[in-house]
Each structure stands twice: as C-alpha cells, then as structure tokens.
Amino acid sequence: MGMLLAVRFLAGVAGVAVITCGGGSISDMMPPEKRGRAMAIWSVGPILGPMIGPVVGGFLCESKGWRWVFWVLTILSGVITLISFFLLRETYAPVLLTRKVARLRKETGNTALCSKLDTGLSEKDAFLYNIVRPAKMFIFSPIVTMMCVYIAVAYGLLYILFTYGFNSSMAGLSFLGSGVGTVAGLAYAGTLSDRSIRSVIKAGRQPRPEDRLPPIITLPAALAIPAGLFIYGWGAEKRVHWIVPEIGTAVTGFGMIGIVMCVQTYLIDAFTSHSASVIAASAVLRSLFGALFPLFGLNLYNKLGLGWGNSLLAFIALALAIVPWAFWVY
C-alpha cells in the first residue's frame, strides 16, 4: 500500500502539469470571444477521463487482473508523451520573446537587445517564483480563494457518489451517467459562455471577467448540483430502479462541469498573464477535494444514510451557489 500511494503521488505531481498548461495555452492562443468553446473542447479530456476510466478499468481488472490497468495507462501515457515532444509548441509570450531576443543577439551581435516582458530574474529565481506563485495567489487573493474552493467542492461531490450495489465491471458503467451529464454541461456552458462575450462586444462594451458568469449558465448549474444529490441520495436510499440514481449523477455532473467551466474561464480572463498559475492553484485544490471527499463519505453515509447524507451535501452545495452570482452582481 505504501508503494502504491508513493507512485500515485508521483503520478499526480506529473499529471497536474497537463491540466495547468492546457488552460494557460488556451489563454495564450484564443481571443476572449472564442475562449469558452476552446475551454469546453479541452475539458473533454480531463473531465471525461475519470468517467470513462472506471468503465474500462472495471472490465479490464475483472478479465486480466488489476496490474493490467496500470500497464495500459503506462503504455498510453508513454505514447502520448513521445508524440507531445514533436507536436506541442510553446505559447507563452514571455518565453517566445526571450527566445527571439537570444536569436537576434546571436545574429546581430547586439547584446543590448532585451525583451519588453523580461522580468530580470535568473532561471533559478524564475523557477522558484513560479512554484510559489499559485500558493500566494490562492492565499492572498480572495477571488482566487473563493472560486477555487467552489470548484473543488463541486468537483469533490461527484466523487463521493459511489454506492451502486454492482460488481466491479458493472460499477464502472455507473460512471456513464455522470459522463453524459458532463458532456451536456460542456456543450451548454461552452456555447453560452462565448455567446455572452460576443453580445457584450456587440453592445460596444469591453468584456469583463465577470461576463463569464452569466446567470443563464451559473444559475442552472448551481441548482443542478444539489438537485442531482437529492435524486441520487434518496433514489439509492429507497433502493428504487438503478436509473434513478444514475439520473442523479448525470444532473450533478451537468452542474459540476457548468460551474467548473464558468469559474475557470473567469479566472483565465481575470488573470490572463498568470492564468497557468491560477489554474494550477485550482487544479491542486480540486484534486485534493476529489481525493479526500470519498474518505469521509463512508462515515457520513454510515451515520446519516444515503438519503440524509446526500441531502446534507446538497444543502452545502446550495449555500455555495451564491458565490458566482455575487461576482456577477457585484
């Protein structure tokens, strides 16, 4: 168990880079009016991966053994890593300008050339600064703190819904409900997010980050999370047909991804030059909540039952629904 925890820790350390760099690259490349749809397309991977993974893993574990789950992941991640070395390109403006300056200095011999985005930091100092910056933004920026906590809670709630009464392979299929909900939420939030920005530009106004939090997206998404928890909790408590809890996970998934999409695009627009850092802070907290929620979930359900246990979580989600609305209004 100790070895498994250690290597999973290392996998998390390396894996978070993809989530961080993805959001930052979209901020670098896409104009505001196209950023919502781009974020939706990019989010298909990190959001649907945890939904499809248990489906494949359940059948693979049952037929080939649990070790083959890790072998398949190793093979796929190795191939994708090799491909990324040849296909991925740098998008961060300060780095691109620094490389251009180095090339021009070599070609012209003019050592006085410098980038207008040069911070003057050495590579070592820049590395340490970039490592610390996400934590500083989370601790000292109330906007980042509140938004990251809200995303983390919404994300963590989806991973506490794990009572199905199926065998290992069929239990994996139960994640398809939340997968369907998240796909619907991605399409809904991604389309309306860009439409909201385009309407602001058409009206002759400069888009604000708060325009990423329109009530037409945040209100249905924020209410869908507690609604889905109620449906799942009481459906599982009363042992009705399995489709009822599945509908609950789908509704919760729709709400979760709607909130995640809105908040992430808001943070990217609000902290454009440091979007990778703010996405890193969000990703770390979100992953922690996703890992910790299932740990206390069993005790919660043992004491309150599935019905009232999920009702308690639904009331917490309902109380937090005011966060994006407050940013939109004020």
Closest CA to 267 of 258, 257, 256, 277: 277
Q: Per-residue confidence at 156, pLDDT binned at 50, 70, 90?
A: confident
pLDDT of residue 283: 78
Alpha carbons 100 and 123: distance in angstroms, whole number: 17
Tens digits of residue pLDDT in 229-242: 999 889 888 888 88
Would residue 37 count as lying in a domain?
yes
- Is 165 within the bounds of a domain? yes
Q: Collect all residues with Cβ–Cβ distance below 8 Å to 60 and sequence separation of at least 6.
A: 68, 69, 72
Does the residue 73 lie in any domain?
no
pLDDT at residue 166, rounded to an integer: 59
Supply the CATH number for residue 324's domain.
1.20.1250.20
Please state, in angstroms and as integers, the Cα–Cα distance from residue 276 to each residue in 10, 67, 136, 137, 205, following that order.
20, 34, 13, 11, 27
**Are 281 and 138 contacting, i.e. CB atoms less than 8 angstroms apart?**
yes
CB 307 within 8 A of CB 234: yes
Domain that holds residue 205: 2-65+125-329
Mind listing the pLDDT tens digit for each residue in 263-307?
A: 888 888 888 777 777 877 887 787 777 777 777 777 888 888 888
% residues pLDDT > 70 (the chain): 89
Residues 121-146 have a mean pLDDT of 75
- Would 203 be classed as within a structural domain? yes
In the chain, the number of structural domains is 1
pLDDT of residue 167: 58
**Per the domain annotation, does 259 fall within a domain?**
yes
* Segment 71-86, tens digit of pLDDT: 988 898 889 889 988 8
| One-letter amino acid for residue 252 of the chain | T
Average pLDDT score over the chain = 80
In a domain, 60, yes or no: yes
